[in-house]
Structure 1
Amino acid sequence: MERLQKVIAHAGIASRRKAEQLISEGHVRVNGQVVKELGVKVGSNDKVEVDGIPIEREQPVYFLFYKPRGVLSAVSDDKGRKVVTDYFQQIEQRIYPVGRLDYETSGLLLLTNDGEFANLLMHPRNEIEKVYVAKVKGIPSKESLRSLQKGVRLEDGKTAPAKTKLLSMDKKKQTSIIELIIHEGKNRQVRRMFEAIGHNVLKLKRERYAALTLEGLSPGDGRELTAHEVKQLRTLANQGKK
């Protein structure tokens, strides 16, 4: 038996908080009866409907994927471009990406059908570290890198303090390789942060998400997370909420 809001979140209908709101407002029926109490638990044989539409209850699944460049962090695209779920066609569950990497960015991306888990990880207050390696135009000064560490002003607000490390530079080609560690997830944030200090990103890869890495994977490869890894991510995110 599981709490009703958890079942709705696992089905990918809404986050658990939104599911609680749907229940309280009378949008949810269990076995034909409207349920407005948040403590209700349901079993595998109970029929759950949201606004009259039965939800398909799936076992939660969790995947780590090495997204190649030129692939959308989406489940479909009206322009026919390749999307991340094209690499998981053998999976029966309706999975979707946790957050996104932009079209030209490669690296570590999580996919799941667990809405509550996805929302928990994506909430900025939970401060899950994401490690990026960027090849940028030019060679940033120490002062420029310090401004990233303090936070830079973007059009949608100031970024939280970041960690930076100059990994290498090519004075002849005037390019640099820089590691950037952030815990936010604004749209195209890393690219915009470097643009804000005058260094456009030429190539970008997410190499780590919390303790997860791309070890043993090539672009286009994926694997299922272990139960221990899922538990670690939940614990880490819940610590951030405190």
Structure 2
Amino acid sequence: MSFFSSNNPALKEEVFTQTAAEREVSGGSVMTLNGTMAKAALMLGIVFTFALFAWDLFAYMGVPVPYLISIPLIGVGLAFLITYKKHLAAYIAPIYCALQGLFLGGVSGLLELKFPGIATQAMLLTFTIFGSMLLLYSTRLIRVTERFKSIIITATFGIFVFYMASFALSFFGVDMPLLHSSGMAGIIFSVFVVILAAMNLLLDFDTIETGMQYGAPKYMEWYAAFGLTVTLIWLYVEILRLLSKLNSRN
């Protein structure tokens, strides 16, 4: 899981209001939708490129377990750094994306050996959900109210705590059944997390729109694109987890 989505400081509305105030003092170009989407596409391109590299590399070498554990932890550290050094997002976010690409390539390759076609299915579902959420948001069929934000943020934070607890307990040989079980409870849990990740996309769209409304400075395009990319990575991982559970039942 990517541990930062719309509830993390990376896409909080206050971030944009503060930086907008900075721009009014210093002047300069403002954040735009086209600029943000272009940077998000670039970051996803970096993720995809490094995922393909890792896929090919570890198909021959095998995937060392320490590698799979260490990269997400480094990613969390970089995400925190970006959160508190927003103006450095243009330099740090591509590194984060490259590392996540290596991680996703390794994990996807491992699961592909066990369940052929699962990576392609997960990718198609990820972008299908992204397009669907964008349509729902742009047509205002789902409105991102303050109550809606509060519910999604609270639920996402709860999942974050659960994942962190699961990671810590794994060192003591304690397994969280909902996370890995292919039973009905495990599948329902994964469906819930996939839906929650999809809902976070709506919050991402809303906060990006807020940034443009407030006239946030140009560098915030990198920052906002980073937040959106993180949510998409999280969504892909959760879909991959769900599909692996479903395939395990066959």
Give TM-score scaled by structure 2 length: 0.24
Greater helix share, 1 or 2? 2
Structure of greater relative contact order (alpha carbons < 8 Å, 6+ residues apart) = 2
Question: Which structure has the greater CA radius of gyration?
Answer: 1
Greater strand share, 1 or 2? 1
Give TM-score scaled by structure 1 length: 0.25
